[in-house]
Structure 1
Amino acid sequence: MIPGADAYDVTLDIDETAVDRALAVDPSDVDAAPELSFARNVFVPLTTACRYTCTYCTYYDPPGQASLLPPDEVRAIVERGADAGCTEALFTFGDDPDDRYTAVHDQLREWGHDSIHSYLREACEIALDAGLLPHSNPGDQTREQMELVADLNASMGVMLETTADVQAHGGPRAKSPGQRLATIRTAGELGVPFTTGLLVGIGEGWRDRAVSLLAIRELHERYDHVQEVIVQPVSPNERWSEPGPALEAMRRVVAMARVVLPPEVSVQVPPNLAPVRDLLDCGVDDLGGVSPVTDDHINPDYAWPALRELEAIAEEAGVPLRERLPVYERHLDWLSPRIRGAIDADDAAGARYRSVLSD
């Protein structure tokens, strides 16, 4: 039983035979992908507040110290990204940050918003005006929260991380795998192209990894909405002193993801957090969003690679490197009129989007 599944009315049919097949996967069972893709993005951390206190995370600040990015700074960041040729504005913040951060809630109210999702909608409008397609990753969301912002996003996402009950999520506000899965399901019900993934090495076991991938697969098979699954190792930092997973463990998890997931779902490994060159033969086909202008604010100790490094990775693998948008081509028909209009617009941003699609 997946923790929290009953509480969030998540029903999955994961049988032990499928788990056993996943656990039997070896890197030799998969082939290297024929090409690699990436998105050129700009990272916009709306706030460092989060209702959770996961022991591996350096992103959140405690109440009284958390920042909230004002609209003029959002505009400056996305305009700089557009000038650098980016196509995606990646909006991140902790789960329900106005839930326990009084100062954040008060500031939002001063700006005319009753929630962080209301403010996210304004930020997405700013990004679209600047010539970037929003991709928002605001953690767990209710249907009402996602509905409020879905039409202004080319895609959205949340990391499942694991279906296991791990100590790293511990405390009175621990993440619920059931709630994570409910968010992924909600995206499918609303027709939102979606990104999710596993965080490897936070205390989960091999069976947990298999179940996590099978849960994602089942939800995708219901709704056809998962674009990519990230396989991300936990990284040592000032709050997490444990070593990350060994290379052989990462190779096995990536191969498992490639075998378990349908072929249309990309397997992504972040090149600033994992030894991607040593994983390409395990089925990796996407390198994720890489920013030429902003830091990885969730993993600030691990700098994004330059585009030339991505090109070198692809060249060493002997495959082409292709830029993509935050929405995959097979989901273009899912887009709202606002996002579709931005892609089709007769302006510089629209031309940039279409150029990426035509490559």
Structure 2
Amino acid sequence: MFPAADEYDIDVSVDEAAVDVLLSVTPRDVAAPDELTFSRNVFLPLTTACRYTCGYCTYYDVPGEATLMEPEAIRSVLQTGADAGCTEALFTFGDKPDDRYTAIHDQLDSWGYDSIVDYLYAACEMAIEEGLLPHSNPGDLTQSEFRQLREVNSSMGVMLETTADVDAHAGTRRKTPGQRLNTIRAAGREGVPFTTGLLVGIGESWRDRAESLLAIAEFHERYGHIQEVIVQNVVPNERSSFDQPSVETMRRVVAMARVALPQSVSVQVPPNLSPTRELIGCGVDDLGGVSPVTDDYINPDYAWPALDELREIAADSGLDLYERLPVYDHYLPESIRREEVDPAGRPPESAGGEADGWLSRRIEGALTEQSAAGQGYRRVAGRESPLTTPQ
């Protein structure tokens, strides 16, 4: 049992033998991937308000300074992303900001929204109208909130970071492992294709890292909803006093992740933050969401690499680079998986009933939009050929 897990009635056990296995893993114990993937996204920081005050985070602004994207601005950014060939609309904001920030709550109320979750729903609908697939990272959510947002998201996510109770989360408004584990479980219960991960270097031990990976693996075994796990190193910034972990530390953690997780779960590192070339041979098979038009608002000092640089990273490792949707192929409804999408980018009618329908309609819109732009389904819907020529 992990710290604060009792508060949420979370039953996640720690297998001591499995911990020992992970602690013995080295990069030599894993194989390099067969290919590398990434998602082309447009990044929308819905608000910079957050109820937490984590010591390493530069994203949140204090009350009185936080911003809230206006609907017109959201629409404009989405259109720019669609014009640039993006398939993913990445929505992110701090946890329950309208609970702490009176101005944010009042602004949402004046626009006719009861909460930031309701506003996110409307923003996701805008993305769908523009032919983009929403992927939302709204922090800790309840199961009912996942049920609501699942209707307008192809996938969602939240970083576990660590199951340890670390000083980096200290303060009067602290983030606890129990809250994050509860969120991951709630997403699983609602069948939401999900991204989570570790933040390495915030005061956790090697055992903490092993236990965090095993907790993620146990939730996936239970619910089958984890599509990728990010192994992200903390980076220096104006608020953080943490040292960036060494390359050898990251190589070992990535290898541990690859051993802890089933092969169907991708291991991802963010290429603007990590020593990516040195990590691919340790089991990394995905480079996450990369935007050609917007900044990484979570880590504004670290620019996204250009697509040509991603190709070079892949080529240096002898791998092909493929673009994927924000939701992985094996989570797609059977009716629109890549082998069933025709070259014009038109998926067949969904035959899977209501469960498939909500996602089918949204992916159909994105594929149709990309096809109309002359980009075809080679990039959008599958791995028919790698990205070997400039887009």
Q: Which residue of 2 aligns with 1:59?
A: 59
- Determine helix, strand or coil for the equivalent of 1:162: coil
Shift of 1:350: 6.4
Shift of 1:215: 0.0
Measure the CA separation in 2 of the matches of 1:37 and 1:192.
21
1:343 paired with 2:334, answer no
User: Which amino acid counterpart does residue 2 of structure 1 have in structure 2?
Assistant: F
1:357 paired with 2:381, answer yes
Measure the CA separation in 2 of the matches of 1:243 and 1:19.
25
User: Which amino acid counterpart does residue 357 of structure 2 have in structure 1?
Assistant: P
Measure the CA separation in 2 of the matches of 1:89 and 1:67.
19
Measure the CA separation in 1 of the matches of 2:376 and 2:219.
29
1:237 paired with 2:237, answer yes
User: Which amino acid counterpart does residue 186 of structure 2 have in structure 1?
Assistant: T
Measure the CA separation in 2 of the matches of 1:230 and 1:202.
15
Shift of 1:354: 4.1
Q: Which residue of 1 aligns with 2:344?
A: none
User: Which amino acid counterpart does residue 147 of structure 1 have in structure 2?
Assistant: R
- 1:145-156 matches, within 5 Å, as 145-156=145-156
1:48-98 CA distance string (max 9 Å, x none): 000000010000000010000011000000110000000000000000000
The answer to which structure, 1 or 2, has the higher relative contact order (CA under 8 A, 6+ apart) is 1
C-alpha contact 1:161 1:197 (8 A) present in aligned 2: yes
C-alpha contact 1:22 1:210 (8 A) present in aligned 2: yes
- Determine helix, strand or coil for the equivalent of 2:114: coil
Measure the CA separation in 2 of the matches of 1:96 and 1:236.
26
Q: Which residue of 2 aligns with 1:71?
A: 71
Distance 1:246 1:203, change over 3 A: same
- 1:26-65 matches, within 5 Å, as 26-65=26-65
- 1:295-314 matches, within 5 Å, as 295-314=295-314
- Determine helix, strand or coil for the equivalent of 1:41: strand
1:167 paired with 2:191, answer no
Distance 1:353 1:46, change over 3 A: farther
Shift of 1:336: 5.2
**Any stretches of 5+ residues in structure 1 without a counterpart?**
none
Shift of 1:211: 0.2
- Determine helix, strand or coil for the equivalent of 1:270: coil
TM-score by length of 1: 0.97
1:136 paired with 2:136, answer yes
1:203 paired with 2:223, answer no
C-alpha contact 1:43 1:296 (8 A) present in aligned 2: yes
Measure the CA separation in 2 of the matches of 1:156 and 1:141.
11
Measure the CA separation in 2 of the matches of 1:169 and 1:20.
27
C-alpha contact 1:151 1:336 (8 A) present in aligned 2: no
Shift of 1:4: 1.3
- Determine helix, strand or coil for the equivalent of 2:165: coil
- Determine helix, strand or coil for the equivalent of 1:7: helix
Shift of 1:347: 3.2
C-alpha contact 2:143 2:189 (8 A) present in aligned 1: no
1:262 paired with 2:282, answer no
- Determine helix, strand or coil for the equivalent of 1:279: helix
User: Which amino acid counterpart does residue 340 of structure 1 have in structure 2?
Assistant: S
1:202-261 CA distance string (max 9 Å, x none): 000000000000000000001111000000000000001321111111010000000011
Shift of 1:353: 8.0
What number of residue pairs does the alignment pair up?
359
- Determine helix, strand or coil for the equivalent of 1:322: strand
C-alpha contact 2:2 2:178 (8 A) present in aligned 1: yes
Measure the CA separation in 2 of the matches of 1:65 and 1:336.
42
Shift of 1:13: 2.1
1:321-343 CA distance string (max 9 Å, x none): 01000000100029752331122
Shift of 1:299: 0.1
Shift of 1:134: 0.1
Q: Which residue of 2 aligns with 1:100?
A: 100
Alignment identity in percent?
A: 64
C-alpha contact 1:47 1:66 (8 A) present in aligned 2: yes
User: Which amino acid counterpart does residue 96 of structure 2 have in structure 1?
Assistant: D
1:175-197 CA distance string (max 9 Å, x none): 11111011111111101000000
Measure the CA separation in 2 of the matches of 1:279 and 1:10.
33
Shift of 1:289: 0.2
C-alpha contact 1:272 1:305 (8 A) present in aligned 2: yes
User: Which amino acid counterpart does residue 101 of structure 1 have in structure 2?
Assistant: Y
User: Which amino acid counterpart does residue 347 of structure 1 have in structure 2?
Assistant: T
User: Which amino acid counterpart does residue 198 of structure 1 have in structure 2?
Assistant: L
TM-score by length of 2: 0.90
C-alpha contact 1:30 1:283 (8 A) present in aligned 2: yes
